[in-house]
Amino acid sequence: MKFDSRRSSVLARNGMVVTSQPLAAMSGLRMLMDGGNAIDAAVATAATLNVVEPGSTGAGGDVFALVWSAKEKRVQALNASGRSPAAASLDELRAKGFTEIPAESAYSITVPGAVSGWAALLERYGSMPFSNVLEPAIRYASEGYPVSEIISTHWIRNFEKLKSHPSGAELLLDGGRPRPGDVMRLPELADTLQTIAEGGADAFYRGPLAEKIASYVQQQGGWLSAEDLADHEATWDEPISTEYRGLRCWQCPPNGQGVTALMALNIAEGFDIESMGFQTTDTYHHLIESVRLAFADGFYHVTDPAKMRVATSDLISKRYAESRRGLIDPGRALGTVSTGLALARGDTVYLTCVDGEGNACSLINSVYMGFGTGLVVPTTGLALHCRGVSFSLDPEHPNALEPRKRPFHTLIPGIVTRDDELWLSYGVMGTVQQAQGHLQVLTSMIDFGLSPQEALNAPRFSVRPGRSWDDLNLEDLVPADVVDGLRSRGHAVTVREPLALFFGGGQIIERDAGSGVLRGGAEPRSDGFAVGW
């Protein structure tokens, strides 16, 4: 059974860009057509998304990326997530009665790492300067663009958050809600992007702009200082990976939740998913239970890699997956799930670009919740993210708030290789939906042979760990017999509309190593758009 939309996969050979907004995809394609490579296209696309989808992403957020170098035939991982301020204090927040960090407070602001990530990508793998790749974003911000229906809905949902702060009006239309078709101009953001285009990352992390960011955060009661910004740097890391049915699946290492996606794949690999059938009760049950077990470890253990208390290699080992797999009852949902390893005490955008040479950039850029904290640095158009909300205020927790520490991150780009050649550059947005979204689209393509677009069209489940471990959400496209079958096995099922806000938004590019043909799929639950040439 396949779930078709009116879309089919997009095919091209010279290059392709897939992301959540058509104007941004075209900015990336323009770089490719002007002689740039996949990395140039990725940064141009990310910067344009900052303008046309500012509630989800931007220079005030963080970036993770995987890069496939066709020449080197290797994957590299970029971590451009920011650290907590040097003055961050768990004791201060607990003394004020907080049990968690408020998302709309200045306490949740860590150093925004996105611009450092854009710069690191261009410096190591790009062929164009900032002045070229930021030009489309600057033009849209200064000259204006029409707001789409879906992005307007997101904007309106966050209107009160922005309106509650005087400078939030910089991201509103004459102080009001942008409606579908309204032409939106963001002149303050255009000036900020122009500053970056001319001065690079240094113009963001040092000098007047950095001082302005730090001063505003401190006015709002936060800890971020100009020194925190100046001390920030993005890091290139060795990616982590596992093999699933003979294909190598790559993720960024912690502090992202890519380890969770790999754990789920390892657990699921021990089941004959193909023989269970596509979109059947058995397949759903075993994938859901694999996800729940992976979440139990990922949400507890993942934090700043320098602060991890267990080895990532232990978490993603096949031996550990085998022990966890043994907990799954094929006829009954698991009860409460906890980590299996003993401890040593002591809203988002995704884009993928592949060029004609076979280089790929799988990139995710986010301000976390809608418009992040809702705090917009005056005269800059910069909405500051709230990624610090992911820190725990339990001093014994591995992810406890500490100075100069990277928090647990939901952001995970993905790449899959086959026989040491690029096969997929892909991702699925949506906080906790990301790791389980990776599992679902990969099993759809690997176990059931679906195309990129078919894999994205297929109904999804969403396990929501945290306060409601037993909460299983299914799209209303899931067959009724599957819904009933899962309930009979003890799953607490809620059926919901197929919205990207809840079930995630994915983008996929598949590459045929022999012919060089690119096949792209875009998220049908949003403005997802695949374009190639």
Residues designated as active site: 348
- Name the phi and psi angles at 350, rounded to 5: -125, 145
Q: What are the residues whose beta carbons fall under 8 Å from the beta carbon of 219, sequence distance 6 or more?
A: none
Q: How many helices (H) and strands (E) does the chain have?
A: 21, 21
Nearest alpha carbon to residue 24 among 40, 47, 7: 47
Nearest alpha carbon to residue 147 among 114, 171, 115: 171
d(CA 507, CA 387): 23
- Name the phi and psi angles at 319, rounded to 5: -65, -45
Helices assigned H by DSSP within 251-369: 258-269, 273-276, 281-301, 312-315, 318-325
Q: Report the Cα 304 to chain-centroid distance in Å.
A: 17
d(CA 97, CA 103): 15
**Contact criterion met (CB below 8 Å) for 289 and 281:** no
Nearest alpha carbon to residue 65 among 54, 76, 49, 57: 76
d(CA 297, CA 244): 20
- According to DSSP, the residues that pair with 16 across neighbouring strands are 354, 532
Alpha carbon dihedral 429, 368, 74, 258, in 10-degree steps, equals: -70
